[in-house]
Amino acid sequence: MTHASTAPATSRIGPSRPPSPLSMFEFWPGWAFYTPVVLYWIAMGLRHGDLSLPTAANPRIETGGLCGESKTGILDMAGETARQWIAPYTTITTGSSDDPVAAIAALARAGLALPVVLKPDIGCNGTGVKLVTTPDELAAAVVLFPAGIRLVMQRLIPFEHEAGVFYIRHPDEERGRLTSLTYKEAPLLVGDGRSTVRQLIDADARTRLVPHLYLPRLGARVHDILPAGETMRLVFAGNHCKGSIFRNGADDITPALTERIDRIMHDIPDFHFGRIDLKFESVASLRLGRGFEIIEINGVGSEATHIWDSRTTLREAYEAQFMHYRETFRIGAKKKKAGWRSAGAFTMLRYWRRQKKLLASYPLND
């Protein structure tokens, strides 16, 4: 009997699914989960005498990558070694009726072709991310953004699997280390030839608990009946709060992978703390430090996303959060001692308010 499923058996990666499809805190309101984290940040800031000290951890990036930073601003700093591992991209800025034509021209100049991933240059949590496969889809997606928005068009990486790798290197250390590896899976429905998309969502152990993450994107498709064996991917953006499933892959952190990521991150000036989002061919190749391409690199505002694995306890999640923020304060202090400046509390607030306003103007992600 066919049924709803969150992943095809042949493509599952990472640990097997735990008995509970959701953790206790996975979809708590943001204020409920992050209040202890904010209090810890304040305590560390008072201890160091600078609430914005982590912004100096990656001093060449706006706010150190805490919020409001340019995605391409980080990628553009990559040297020859790092660029070999980053999926090619180009940008356009919205603002005229010719935006779709300008987008096609920009792709041609960059030597890129459809399909591409279209996303805002300033953003977070996958907001506004669109998968574009045809010129008509590109034209329709570009005009959804308000004027003056810089959009990134990045080649669609052909690999099926996605992961987030957290990297830390102190400025007085020759080598960095990987503190987290998280596999990201998109929930899939498998048709049975009888059930509607909505019925398949309601039949699945996980998706039925958070239908609000998927239904707004589907529109009238919720009434479609999937043919037997046909699959439907519910989300494209690999983000937890948008409905993707996260698995802790710490057991697959190897010396070879660590060395590869460390070499890449050494080729981005003064980058010491953040998460690398990538797609990869297989777990075996990733363990060898091969067969992957980088989507984007995130700074001090990024998380070690293994905390969203449903097997992670609340205590383990906070221990991971506190450890990472403690490290970014330590790194920031060393960079500040070396002559770099932190952003300051008012600058952090200004960038956060700008990012919040921009996010509210973006269309729904795929």
d(CA 94, CA 244): 29
Q: What is the CATH number of the domain that holds 92?
A: 3.30.1490.20
Claim to verify: residue 69 and residue 170 sit in the same structural domain: yes
Whole-model pTM above 0.85?
A: yes
What pLDDT shows up at residue 351? 96
Claim to verify: residue 70 and residue 97 sit in the same structural domain: no
> CB atoms < 10 A from the CB of 324, how many?
23
In a domain, 2, yes or no: no
Claim to verify: residue 301 and residue 353 sit in the same structural domain: yes
For all residues of the chain together, what is the average pLDDT?
91
In a domain, 4, yes or no: no
Summarize pLDDT for 261-306 with one digit per residue, the tens. 999 999 999 999 999 999 999 999 999 999 999 999 999 999 999 9
In a domain, 351, yes or no: yes
Claim to verify: residue 349 and residue 324 sit in the same structural domain: yes
Confidence category of residue 126, pLDDT binned at 50, 70, 90: confident
Claim to verify: residue 211 and residue 255 sit in the same structural domain: no
What pLDDT shows up at residue 188? 87
- Comparing 239 with 188, the larger pLDDT belongs to 188
Domain that holds residue 40: 29-87+158-186+235-366
Backbone dihedral region of 219: left (phi > 0), alpha (psi from -120 to 50 degrees) or beta?
A: left
The beta-carbon contacts of 330-333 under 8 Å, at least 24 apart in sequence, are 330/170, 331/54, 331/56, 331/57, 331/168, 331/170, 331/171, 331/272, 331/273, 332/48, 332/50, 332/53, 332/54, 332/55, 332/56, 332/57, 332/64, 333/48, 333/53, 333/56
